[in-house]
Amino acid sequence: MSDAAALLDTWRGQGADRVDPLRFHFIEALARRASAHEGEARRILDEKLAGALAAYARDVERAADQRETVAAPAPADGLGTLVDLLSAHGAALQDAAGDMAVLDYFRGLWAELRVGRELRQALENVPENAGPLNSLHLVHQSLMLMHDLAPGYLRHFLSYADTLSWLERMSGADLLLGAAPRAEAPKKAGKGKAD
């Protein structure tokens, strides 16, 4: 549908793509998809595209009436604009980048401490005289091997195990399903008990 592509280009030139960027991108993708099909599929996609274009046109008109930012952007070269923006906001960007680096550092440090704590707890649960096929011994060996070969994978694995443990605790109380707590089975009365 070349009319749709022309309309989308016009809106982009006017800055109307900023009215709802996500929906505008969806409409562009729908137009590309429709142009790749023929027959009944093309007809259905064209109908959806026409409806999406009409709804977006109403929003563009509404935004123009409310004098939102739908005016055409000033022509500028991309590199010059980028340099100007970086010059104007360079200090703020450097501060934000520094904050993110510190946050990443502490996040990694916390993950390492957590992994160390989990490994120590796993080691404490292994009996001293555990045989080679003892399940706790095997779990500890696996965790130590993961720690040595793939520490990043171990962090993800422990996070996954924590999530499963939390879900198990929640499902034990039937909170996930929203069901009433399970009633315990009635106990049978013994023959020799006094009443």
Q: What is the pLDDT of residues 139-159, one digit of tens each?
A: 878 888 888 888 888 888 888
Q: Quick check: 122 and 133 in contact, CB under 8 A?
A: no
Under 8 Å between Cβ of 183 and 151: no
Q: Could you tell me if 96 and 159 lie in one domain?
A: yes
CA atoms within 13 A on the CB side of 70: 17
- Are residues 10 and 44 both part of a single domain? yes
If we measure between CA atoms, which residue out of 119, 101, 4, 5 comes closest to residue 50? 4
Q: How many domains does the chain have?
A: 2
Is the pLDDT score of 62 beyond 60?
yes
One domain for residues 97 and 167:
yes
User: What average pLDDT score do residues 82-94 get?
Assistant: 66
Q: What is the pLDDT of residue 19?
A: 83
49 vs 68, higher pLDDT: 49
pLDDT at 182: 54
| Same domain? 11 vs 61 | yes
Distances (CA, A) of 180 to 40, 170, 171, 177, 186: 50, 13, 11, 9, 17
191 assigned to some structural domain: no
Q: Residue 68's pLDDT is what?
A: 44
Structural domain boundaries, residue 136 = 90-172
What is the model's pLDDT at position 71?
A: 47
